[in-house]
Amino acid sequence: MSLLIGAFTVGLILSLLALGVFISFRIFAFPDITAEGSITLGAAVAATLLVNGTSPPLATLAGAAAGALAGTATGLIHTRFNVNGLLSGILVMTSLYSINLHVMGKSNVPLLSGDNLTTEAEAAGRRVLGADSLNLWGWDVGTRDFSVLILSALAIAAVAALLYVFFRTNIGTAMRATGDNDQMIRALGVNHGNMIVFGLAVSNGLVALSGALLAQYQGFADVQMGIGMLVWGLASVIIGEALVGTRQLGFALTGAVMGSVLFRLLVAIALRWGVNPNDLKLITAIFVFAALILPGMLEKMKRQRIPGKGGQPAGA
């Protein structure tokens, strides 16, 4: 049960990563690999501040803000200097590796003593429940696990709702249109370069927030923790799209969160079955590859089955 709750919690925390990846990949169609550096940056900044005695909420927000700066850097390199999008992300991600080491001063910062959001959530849970553990449908659940899970769920719901509202405002709608049709949005008087910079800042801010929370949940920040995160986020987005579809903005956002949680559960089950943890990234990459090519292949097979009805899909 503890394992299940743990997978759920990590899934919720990483759903912020999925939401960030959703913005860069799906809204802007921008393969933004900065995420791998900014998730670590968020963790590094938050952990370092916590060790130095900053209040947990402030340290977490500072981590998110640092990620937003990283996203801004990628956006500026791409739009102001016309560097290819993928390459802009790689440049920032690579420099972030050094920056993260500088921020932390070493390759790993443990958060064993002192306050952080996890201990605060635990304390709050204790105040409400007044016990070390509680009985949930016959399962014995630790107060710490339970309160962290509930509070992460609330926090993620709040962030997702905020994003939903934002994307329905004038500027948020313009941002979605920028990724959809940049010619149109310029003709309607929007500086589309600035929109991309802003969008990547929001995206990486979310990713870094995810990193800051993850560090506090797992009890350390590590300079290697970002490796493979982009593909994990993408896998979550793809699972979410399969679950609820993309017809509406609300579905897409909920899908990303659900996808992230489901993906974590799948990982937990796979590990339980005895899958070698070293193979996880390979399996995830293969999964994402399959998810990317399968729709196209199915389409092709369908077309071959109906002779004479082939040709270009509408709107090509």
Partner 1 sequence: MLRVRDVWKTFNAGTPNEVRSLQGVNLDLDSGSFVIIIGTNGSGKSTLLNAVAGTWSVDAGKIELDGRDVTRWPEYKRAALLGRVFQNPFSGTAPNLSIAENVALAARRGMRRGLGWSRERKVMDQIRGAVRQLNMGLENRLDNAIGSLSGGQRQALTLMMATWVQPKLLLLDEHTAALDPKSADKVIRLSEEIISRDKLTSLMVTHSMHQAVHLGDRLIMMHRGKVIHDYRGAEKRRLSPEDLLARFEDLRRADQLDESAAEMLRRTYV
Contacting residue, 132, 140, 180, 279, with partner 1 by CB under 8 A: 180
Shortest Å, Cβ 5 to partner 1: 37
What's the CA gap between 113 and 111, in Å, rounded?
A: 6
Shortest Å, Cβ 189 to partner 1: 4
Based on CB atoms, which residue is closest to partner 1, 174 or 280? 174
Q: At 265, which amino acid appears?
A: L
Under the binding rule (CB under 8 A), the answer on residue 183 touching partner 1 is: yes
DSSP 3-state of 53: coil
Under the binding rule (CB under 8 A), the answer on residue 164 touching partner 1 is: no
Under the binding rule (CB under 8 A), the answer on residue 192 touching partner 1 is: yes
Site residue total, partner 1 (CB under 8 A): 24
Shortest Å, Cβ 183 to partner 1: 5
User: Which residues have CB under 8 Å from 95's CB, separation 6+?
Assistant: 37
What's the CA gap between 198 and 162, in Å, rounded?
A: 16
Torsion angle in degrees (nearest 10) through CA of 261, 176, 315, 29? -60
What's the CA gap between 83 and 73, in Å, rounded?
A: 12
Under the binding rule (CB under 8 A), the answer on residue 191 touching partner 1 is: yes
Tell me how long the chain is.
Answer: 316
Please identify, among the stretches 184-192, 208-216, 255-263, 286-294, the one whose residues bind partner 1 according to the rule CB under 8 A. 184-192
Contacting residue, 95, 98, 108, 169, with partner 1 by CB under 8 A: 169
User: What does the per-residue mask of binding to partner 1 show for 226-255, with x meaning CB under 8 A?
Assistant: ---------------------x--------
| 219 phi and psi angles, rounded to 5 deg | 90, 15
Based on CB atoms, which residue is closest to partner 1, 127 or 247? 247
Please identify, among the stretches 154-162, 173-181, 234-242, 303-311, the one whose residues bind partner 1 according to the rule CB under 8 A. 173-181
Under the binding rule (CB under 8 A), the answer on residue 311 touching partner 1 is: no
Under the binding rule (CB under 8 A), the answer on residue 185 touching partner 1 is: yes
Max CA separation in the chain (angstroms): 71
Based on CB atoms, which residue is closest to partner 1, 37 or 179? 179
What's the CA gap between 275 and 206, in Å, rounded?
A: 30
Q: Are 37 and 226 in contact (CB under 8 A)?
A: yes
Contacting residue, 3, 171, 290, 297, with partner 1 by CB under 8 A: 171
Task: List C-alpha distances in Å: 124 to 47, 82, 144, 193.
Answer: 21, 49, 9, 44
Shortest Å, Cβ 175 to partner 1: 9
Shortest Å, Cβ 191 to partner 1: 5
Under the binding rule (CB under 8 A), the answer on residue 173 touching partner 1 is: yes
> By CB under 8 A, what part of segment 49-68 binds partner 1?
none
Shortest Å, Cβ 193 to partner 1: 9
Under the binding rule (CB under 8 A), the answer on residue 119 touching partner 1 is: no
Burial of 98 (0-12, 13-18, 19+ CB in 10 A): exposed
What's the CA gap between 130 and 124, in Å, rounded?
A: 10
Closest of 203, 278, 149 to residue 36, by C-alpha: 203
Q: Are 145 and 136 in contact (CB under 8 A)?
A: no
Under the binding rule (CB under 8 A), the answer on residue 289 touching partner 1 is: no
Residues contributing to the site for partner 1 (CB under 8 A): 166, 168-174, 176-177, 180-181, 183-192, 247, 315
